[in-house]
Amino acid sequence: MFCFQCQEAARNEGCTIAGVCGKKDIVADLQDLLVYTIKGLCYVCEKSNYLDDEVMEYIPKALFVTITNVNFDDKDVMDYIKKGVELREKIIEKTNLNKEELPHCATWNYENDDDIIELSLAKEVSVLAEDNEDIRSLKELITYGIKGIGAYLSHAMHLGYNNEEIHKFIVKAMTKLVDSKDADELFNLAMETGKYAVDTLALLDKANTETYGHPEITEVNLGVRDRPGILISGHDLKDLEQLLEQTKGTGVDVYTHCEMLPAHYYPFFKKYDHFVGNYGGSWPFQTEEFEKFNGPIIMTTNCLVPPKDSYKDRVYVTGAVGYPGLKRIPVREDGTKDFSEVIEHAKKCKPPTPLENGKIVGGFAHNQVLALADKIIEAVKSGKIRKFVVMAGCDGRHKTREYYTEFAKKLPKDTVILTCGCAKYRFIKLDLGDIDGIPRVLDAGQCNDSYSLAVVALKLKEVLGLEDINELPIAYNIAWYEQKAVAVLLALLYLGVKNIVLGPTLPAFLSPNVAKVLVEKFGISTISTVDEDIKRLVG
Ligand code: SF4
Ligand code: SF3
């Protein structure tokens, strides 16, 4: 195996024996083959100008399966590979494509599982198939951006929202990854990936807000009640809605974990009395927190950490998530999920052990921030707010991430943090005060809500009459971990944002030359010390 797609790649070079994330070599190899298969499927779609609902349903989900901390189950990955081959063969047959003119990723086949495993080990399906390290770097940058787009698109589609143009882009881009070896062409494709990342995030924002209302200022309870509970994690709001409906009147409470916290900000979810609050923090701390929760846990998306035996029987998965031995939530014929087993399980469990008390204040997605625009603009004009600092993105295991807590604490009092994603857990529980009633930490929601930060920036630019997004009093100190963050980064670059600080390390998949281009064109850099970074970002 060779995998370097996330921020925790071994030695910041790549995992080769097993993943730091817990992914076994067989799963990593099969995921490479899945990406290879998706490329082959896209290739035949592109060459025959073909797209149908089944393909549009499959590609984003299959991409989602390969994101860090989503699926650790070789059987699941194998099933997705088989489905990809099946869809591809159907299209070749329907469109009479000449197989002899197709590359291996679009023609390979198998007789049994051993054939699949054998191919998954071949160099030609791995990241290292590309010998030129700069071309490889650009191709993987695009691939990870597209994985992020696939994840966000899956969420939008789960809510019934879709945009064929995004699928067409994925198909075109994956085909170029097979065909192209031209660095300029690939660089432009990376920028185009950013454009489609913006479009996908906008679609998801529309899906979320039209379905559940606009997030609004909300206090989220961090304590627990004396009843059994179900903990739901990941990003999927539709799964949460169905769980809340099915737990109504059962005596079982529902709590959010990690990226599900922002669900509390939506008006729609406030009507559920048994939707109690948020339990714990970000994903790296789940092994201790899940242990103490005492009841069942549902993982709707990333980030799943290989579960300990002590609570493994209480973890349920759904959607793209998978882990050997964990129970899967059944899907009914009408497509809704059946949580009855989880609910019965919860009834037999003790209430959660309290971890903390107090509250988190959030809900500052674009609509809420724009409702406060006059106040915010006044504070900017009068100098009470000197600068906004975007501290969005992901959390992770490494100790180096304590930097972000220190950074937030040491930021001057006339700065406001704009956040979203699970990076916020490094500082959201600190009491950083407010500026004339405007909290110093404004949480827009999940990483899925990154679009909000772009809307706020563009609105501020308009109101302040500025020409360029970089003239705004906004600095970017972004923490990344997995591939959705890569999509968001490409989105920001596409929007023209310069001088982003990306940490705690630059991606291992950026070759020195590609990194150099990003530094020259966009002023990207990585973190240094808290004091130095405050000086260069805030002045
Ligand atoms: Fe390593 Fe990250 Fe890949 Fe897991 S996802 S194998 S930690 S690089
Ligand atoms: Fe977090 Fe995984 Fe990325 Fe959605 S849950 S931001 S790391």
Tell me if ipTM is over 0.95. Answer: yes
Q: How far apart are CA 61 and CA 189, in angstroms?
A: 22
Query: Which residues have CB under 6 Å of ligand 1?
Result: 3-6, 8-9, 15, 19-21, 23, 28, 68
| Backbone torsion region of residue 525, taken as left when φ is above 0, otherwise alpha when ψ lies between -120 and 50, otherwise beta | beta
What is the Å distance from ligand 1's center to 313 Cα?
25
Would you state the pLDDT for residue 539? 87
- Ligand 1 centroid from CA 68, angstroms: 7
Ligand 2 site residues (CB inside 6 A) read 69, 258-259, 283, 302-303, 394, 421-422, 446-447, 481-482, 484-485
Ligand 1 centre from 5 Cα, in Å? 6
**Sign of CA pseudo-dihedral 111, 117, 122, 123:** positive
Pocket test for ligand 1, best of 1, 2, 7, 8 (most atoms within 8 A of CB): 8
Using the atom order of ligand 1, give the atom closest to the CA of residue 19. Answer: 6
Residue of the CA atom closest to atom 4 of ligand 2: 447
Please name which of 264, 257, 309, 326 lies closest in space to residue 285, comparing C-alpha atoms.
257
Q: Give the alpha-carbon dihedral of 529, 524, 510, 411, to 10 degrees.
A: 30
Mutate to test the pocket of ligand 2, among 69, 259, 453 (most ligand atoms within 8 A of CB): 259
| pLDDT recorded at residue 472 | 96
Closest atom of ligand 2 to CA, residue 448: 4
482 CA to middle of ligand 2, Å? 7
Pairwise CA distance, residues 185 & 169, whole Å? 15
* Structure tokens that stand for 105 in this block: 């990723």
Neighbours of 206 (CB within 10 A): 15
- Helix then strand then coil, in percent of the chain rounded to 5, is 55, 10, 35
Question: Which residue lies with its CA nearest to atom 5 of ligand 2?
Answer: 303
Measured in angstroms, how far is the CA atom of residue 171 from the centroid of ligand 2? 25
Q: What is the C-alpha separation between 143 and 388, in angstroms, rounded? A: 31
Ligand nearest to the CA of 486: 2
Amino acid at 51: L
Q: What is the pLDDT of residue 59?
A: 98
Residue 141, SS3?
helix
Max Cα separation, the chain?
Answer: 71
7 CA from centroid of ligand 1 (Å): 8
Q: Residue 252, SS3?
A: coil
Helix (H) or strand (E) holding 48: helix 25-48
Q: How many angstroms separate the alpha carbon of residue 132 from the centre of ligand 2?
A: 31
Taking the CA of 25 as reference, the closest ligand is: 1
Q: What is the 3-state secondary structure (H, E, C) of 293-309?
A: HCCCEEECCCCCCCCCC
> What is the DSSP secondary structure assignment for residue 71, as one 8-state letter?
B
Q: What is the pLDDT along the chain (539 residues), one digit of tens a residue?
A: 999 999 999 999 999 999 999 999 999 999 999 999 999 999 999 999 999 999 999 999 999 999 999 999 999 999 999 999 999 999 999 999 999 999 999 999 999 999 999 999 999 999 999 999 999 999 999 999 999 999 999 999 999 999 999 999 999 999 999 999 999 999 999 999 999 999 999 999 999 999 999 999 999 999 999 999 999 999 999 999 999 999 999 999 999 999 999 999 999 999 999 999 999 999 999 999 999 999 999 999 999 999 999 999 999 999 999 999 999 999 999 999 999 999 999 999 999 999 999 999 999 999 999 999 999 999 999 999 999 999 999 999 999 999 999 999 999 999 999 999 999 999 999 999 999 999 999 999 999 999 999 999 999 999 999 999 999 999 999 999 999 999 999 999 999 999 999 999 999 999 999 999 999 999 999 999 999 999 999 98
4 Cα: distance to centroid of ligand 1 (angstroms):
6
Q: Give CA separation, 418 vs 361, 363, 372, 512, in Å.
A: 13, 11, 14, 30
Q: Reduced to 3 states, what is the DSSP secondary structure of residue 433?
A: coil
CA 385 from chain centre, in angstroms, equals 30
419 alpha carbon to ligand 2 midpoint, in Å?
Answer: 13
